[in-house]
A and B are shown apart, each in its own frame.
Chain A
């Protein structure tokens, strides 16, 4: 079946550091890929998405590129802020794909 694998957390960074959260997927064909963010006490919110190979999704300084050759969708941000502290989920969906999420990666940013 389809699956999404994320790097384990927590990821702990200082403010203004560079962020990478790795995500790889297993699926037949070409699903759409998503990053969701969950702030403490809140529901999941869509952060960005990409619907086909080589697409780059971006939002709020975060970006991720759909890499078909490596089946990856790594999340990056050039300079993190304390307010970025949250849990980040990578997911695949679209068409006939059952929406499938990774386990989540907790990000902690220190001042």
Chain B
């Protein structure tokens, strides 16, 4: 069964260091999302791609976060420098098209900043 792949599953980093997460969506899915989920809260959208273009990044802290999807397939989310408050689960999801269609989620990357 096709699924969204994310790596690493867990990451511990020191504050002020750089960290990167990778996501490989389900083949053929044009829309890709990165979410941040703080413990006890719902996912918050950071960035949405349609193919290689950013559709929405209004909630992405652009002073330290960046995201790219160069060939419209897999994607990387980077944080530099990491801060203690960035500790959270980072979720990637993909869907065939934008709109009211099912989004498939990966298992996430649990980031701990120490």
Give residues in A with beta carbon < 8 Å to B: 4, 32, 36, 41-46, 49, 51, 89, 91, 93-95, 98-104
Contact = CB atoms under 8 A, between A and B. Distances in A.
A43 B35 CA distance: 12
Contacts of A98: 45, 48, 56, 58-59
Interface in B29-81: 33, 35, 40-45, 48, 56, 58-59
A4 B42 contact: yes
Nearest to A93: B100
B36 to A, nearest CB: 11
B91 A44 contact: yes
Q: How large is the interface on B (under 10, 10 to 19, 20 to 34, 35 or more residues)?
A: 20 to 34
A45 B104 CA distance: 7
Nearest to B107: A43
B108 interface: yes
Given A46-B102, A98-B58, A103 B91 contact: no
B100 A94 contact: yes
A95 B99 contact: yes
B93 to A, nearest CB: 8
Complex A-B, nearest 10 residue pairs according to Cβ-Cβ distance, in ascending order: A32-B100, A101-B42, A43-B105, A94-B100, A44-B105, A46-B102, A43-B107, A51-B100, A101-B43, A103-B42
A46 to B, nearest CB: 5
Contact of B42 (A42, A46, A51, A104): A104
Given A94-B99, A94-B100, A45 B41 contact: no
